[in-house]
Every structure is written in C-alpha cells, then in structure tokens.
Chain A
Amino acid sequence: AQSVTQLGSHVSVSEGALVLLRCNYSSSVPPYLFWYVQYPNQGLQLLLKYTTGATLVKGINGFEAEFKKSETSFHLTKPSAHMSDAAEYFCAVSSISSGSARQLTFGSGTQLTVLP
C-alpha cells in the first residue's frame, strides 16, 4: 500500500521568504509523485509532478520539488513567497489499483499562510 505524510498541517511564512512544504511517501514500487494546490472554494489543480528522469521538477508559479529516493521525500519549495500563494497544498502518490485505473493517494494537506 502507498501512503503520503505531509509534515505540518499549517505553515506560515512572510511575503518574500522561502516556502518549504514537506512530503514523505512510502511505496513498494518506484513512485510517481504529485503536488496539487487548492485555492479557497475551488477544486485542485496540478502544480508539478515527478515521473522519471530529472529529480528536480519545476512547476507553475515558481514552485519546484526534488525527488530524493534515499529519503523517500518530495518536498515543495519556492524561493520567494507571494500573497497569492496562500492556499492548501496536497502531496500525492500514484498507486496501482486492482482495476485498470491508477489511483492517487493524497496526504492530509498543508495550509500555507503568507504574512504581509
């Protein structure tokens, strides 16, 4: 079974400061990893994903994440926070299901607050 742990349900940073959101996963097979963002009262949208190849993945809005197999981590970073980054962020791992569709297993989410 696959699982995802997001450390810190709430993270606050000042505008212009580094954003670091932590994600650790467990998987018995090479994982495919995703970060999604959810703005208030909206659905989720993809920020970035790791499949194979380069372990540093760049996404939208200046976010990036690094896949570290030895640490089973996929932390999300952004060098300089903007007020518009305030949202909830979900890490997810793609798992093999018994049927023919792959399923996403989500972490519990991290609410990011950006302080002026």
Chain B
Amino acid sequence: NAGVTQTPKFQVLKTGQSMTLQCAQDMNHNSMYWYRQDPGMGLRLIYYSASEGTTDKGEVPNGYNVSRLNKREFSLRLESAAPSQTSVYFCASTERGAVSTDTQYFGPGTRLTVL
C-alpha cells in the first residue's frame, strides 16, 4: 500500500514550456486534490475532484488544468509555465470528500522550478 504517489519529484522548466504532474492513490479514495505550497503562505488549493468524472476550481486555478483520469489518478497540467508557478506541488486524497471529518492523505510533493 503506497498511499499517494507523485511523479516527478523534481522538475526544472523554462518559461513557456508545458508539463504534467502525475498523482495516483491506491486507497480507493473518492476525492483528490492539488495544492501548491509557497514559503509563508501555507498550502493553497488549485483544483479538486470530488469523485471520478468531476473537477472543480480551488483558490488559485489560473494557469493550470486537471484531469481525473480514473478513480486512482489525478493529473495537473501547466500549459505554459511561468516563473510565478515555481512552487512545491502536493497531491492529496480523502475517502469521502463530502464528509468534512475525513483525513487528507498527502503525497511527497513535486518541486518545480520555472526559469
């Protein structure tokens, strides 16, 4: 049981390049989330998926797109990377997103630098 996995661990991009961050969970969870973490700002929600086939914007969705490929996988795409997107990206999942007491389980993160 690996929990939540993310690939890649590190990535360096040039401004304007595109890339997709991958996330997978093996806990049969319904809801999945993408956050970014910046110094002094905590974690901010980019997009989430309440269940397979649905996605919704979070607090900071501009410049990102997501795909809930199946129940296990939730990807985050940067179409044209900008230096402001330099950050650490975390994927998380919960068993039942509609139930507020559920614990969110986090992946190890992807450190992205945009030059």
Residues of A within 8 A of B (CB): 4, 9, 32, 34, 36, 41-46, 49, 51, 90, 94, 96-104, 106-109
Q: In the bound complex, what is the Cα–Cα distance between A45 and B101 (angstroms)?
A: 15
A sample of 20 cross-chain residue pairs with beta-carbon separation below 8 angstroms, ordered by A number, consists of: A32-B101, A43-B107, A43-B108, A44-B43, A44-B92, A44-B104, A46-B103, A49-B103, A90-B43, A99-B54, A100-B50, A100-B51, A101-B33, A101-B56, A101-B97, A102-B97, A104-B43, A104-B104, A106-B42, A108-B40
Q: Does B2 contact A (CB under 8 A)?
A: no
B90 touches A43 (CB 8 A): yes
A-B contact number at CB 8 A: 76
Output the least CB separation between B44 and chain A (Å): 8
Output the least CB separation between A26 and chain B (Å): 15
A97 touches B101 (CB 8 A): no
B48 touches A44 (CB 8 A): no
- Set of chain A residues within 8 Å of B45, measured between Cβ atoms: 103-104
A109 touches B100 (CB 8 A): no
- Set of chain B residues within 8 Å of A4, measured between Cβ atoms: 42
Q: In the bound complex, what is the Cα–Cα distance between A79 and B87 (angstroms)?
A: 34
**Interface mask (B26-59 → A, CB under 8 Å = 1, otherwise 0):** 0000010100000011111100111100101010
Nearest B residue to A94 via CB reads B100
- Give B73-99 interface residues, CB cut-off 8 Å to A: 90, 92, 94, 97-99
- Set of chain A residues within 8 Å of B107, measured between Cβ atoms: 43
- Set of chain A residues within 8 Å of B106, measured between Cβ atoms: 36, 43-45
Q: Does B21 contact A (CB under 8 A)?
A: no
Q: In the bound complex, what is the Cα–Cα distance between A107 and B40 (angstroms)?
A: 9
Q: Does B66 contact A (CB under 8 A)?
A: no
Output the least CB separation between B87 and chain A (Å): 14
B101 touches A99 (CB 8 A): no
Asked if A51 meets B101 with Cβ closer than 8 Å, knowing A100-B50, A106-B43, the reply is: yes
| 8 Å CB contact of B56 from A90, A94, A98, A107 | A98
Asked if A101 meets B103 with Cβ closer than 8 Å, knowing A107-B42, A108-B42, the reply is: no
